[in-house]
Each structure stands twice: as C-alpha cells, then as structure tokens.
C-alpha cells in the first residue's frame, strides 16, 4: 500500500507540470517548451504504466478488471512510445519519414507495437530504428507473456 502512495505522489508531481506545460505551450511557438511538455508527458505515462502494472501483478485473483488493466497498460505503452518518437523527431528532425501531424506518431507507435508495419512511416536514423525494434519486441513479449498468463489464470 505504501508503494502505491509513493507512485501516486510521483504521478501527481509529474502529471501536474505536464498538464500545465501543455496548456501554457498551446499559445507559445517555442519548440523548447514543447520538448519539456513531451518529457513530462513521457515520464507521466511511463509512471502510469508502472502503476497499473504493479496493480495488475499484485492481484491475488485474476478478474475481468485485471484483464482490462492489462489492456490499459498495452494502450498506455503505445502512447508512451508515440510521445517518445515525437520527442526524438523534434530533437532530430526527419527521424521518421512521412509524419504529417502528432497523430502520426500514435499511429506509427501502435502499428509498431502490434508489429503490423504498414511501411508508410519508417524510421530513418539508428535511434528511431532501435526504438521501433525495441517497441515491437516489447509488444510481442507483453502479449505472449503477461496477457497469456492472465487469461490462463482466469480460466482456472
């Protein structure tokens, strides 16, 4: 229980600046402020993934809510990776091909996480290639290990 409180406090400490920075930056044209928003957002969603994961793994009895929590982690991972791609693309313009707007990062992230790989957006530098490869491996292992374990425990 103490660990959950620490994670909650950390989430608030990271989440509030992320939300405030997003509101403030919406009116400012500075890229450096957008980078700070992305950093706080990446930290917030990473922490959210860890918080939900600790809750899911801490359950003694697997229920539908536990399965939904695991699905939520998967979706949260996709958003975290999308923000990470956007961050790298802002630092190194042209790190991904054919990115027209912010939703393209989300699209690319979920396509990569699911290992579909349509090929319309591609990583162009070693950093984004490595990120895409790592995200694809995480996506496959997540489904193969965690979701399969939870579903098999639910049917017992």
Instruction: Walk me through the domains of the chain, giving residue ranges and CATH numbers.
Output: 2-154 (1.10.287.70)
Q: What is the pLDDT of residue 89?
A: 92
What is the pTM for the complete model shown? 0.80
User: What is the per-residue DSSP string for the chain?
Assistant: -HHHHHHHHHHHHHHHHHHHHHHHHTT---HHHHHHHHHHHHHHHHHHHHHHHHHHHH-SS--HHHHHHHHHHHHHHHHHHHHHHHHHHHHSTTSBSS--SHHHHHHHHHHHHTT---SSS-B-SHHHHHHHHHHHHHHHHIIIIIIHHHHHHHT-
Best-predicted range by mean pLDDT among 4-13, 45-54, 107-116? 107-116
Average pLDDT over residues 28-56: 81
């Amino acid at each position: 229980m103490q660990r959950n409180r620490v994670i909650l406090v950390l989430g608030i400490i990271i989440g509030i600046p992320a939300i405030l920075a997003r509101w403030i930056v919406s009116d400012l044209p500075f890229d450096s402020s957008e980078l700070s928003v992305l950093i706080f957002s990446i930290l917030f969603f990473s922490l959210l993934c860890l918080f939900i994961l600790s809750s899911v793994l801490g359950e003694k009895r697997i229920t539908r809510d536990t399965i939904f929590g695991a699905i939520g982690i998967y979706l949260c991972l996709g958003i975290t990776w999308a923000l990470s791609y956007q961050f790298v693309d802002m630092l190194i313009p042209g790190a991904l091909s054919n990115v027209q707007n912010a939703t393209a990062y989300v699209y690319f992230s979920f396509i990569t996480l699911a290992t579909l790989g349509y090929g319309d957006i591609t990583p162009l530098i070693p950093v984004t290639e490595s990120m895409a490869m790592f995200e694809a491996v995480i996506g496959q292992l997540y489904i193969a290990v965690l979701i399969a374990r939870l579903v098999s425990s639910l049917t017992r």
